[in-house]
Amino acid sequence: MKVLRLTALTGLLATTLWAQSITKEGIVVVAPCVEQGHFTECPLSYNASDEPLVLYVAEDMRYYTLDLSGVTRREMDTGFARYGTVVTGTLKGDQLIVDRYEAPAPREDTLFKGCL
């Protein structure tokens, strides 16, 4: 009886920890770009392909495949190949199920200042 209770409690604890929401910051690209070391240089044509999107997190030195159940792929376009993208969701193994997504603000500093 005690073994059964301990197993049930362990299973409940594992389920609770397994479904914990996390927030990661990184760069959204497709797996071939990460594997080749191309991050900000990842061609937009890849984004239009059927390749799954991934979030590369430099802090973890790894990438997570994104499950876009909570957002559309079109929404993810605003942060494609841009550092500072924040993704919140549930982590299951190497897959991050996206609940919320926040693209970084566009850069304001540009070299072009208009007509001279």
CATH for 42: 2.40.50
Using one digit for the tens of pLDDT, what is the confidence trace for 43-87?
777 666 778 899 999 999 999 999 998 888 888 888 888 889 999
For residue 91, tell me if it sits in a domain: yes
Amino acid at site 87? V
For residue 7, tell me if it sits in a domain: no
Instruction: Give the C-alpha separation, 93 to 73, whole Å.
Output: 21
Using one digit for the tens of pLDDT, what is the confidence trace for 25-40?
999 998 888 888 888 8
For residue 108, tell me if it sits in a domain: no
Q: Over 90: is that where the pLDDT of 42 sits?
A: no
For residue 107, tell me if it sits in a domain: no
Q: What is the count of structural domains for the chain? A: 1
For residue 5, tell me if it sits in a domain: no
For residue 82, tell me if it sits in a domain: yes
For residue 6, tell me if it sits in a domain: no
Instruction: Give the C-alpha separation, 114 to 38, whole Å.
Output: 31
Instruction: Give the C-alpha separation, 73 to 39, whole Å.
Output: 18
For residue 9, tell me if it sits in a domain: no
The whole domain housing 95 covers 20-102
- Which residues lie across from 54 on neighbouring strands? 29, 65
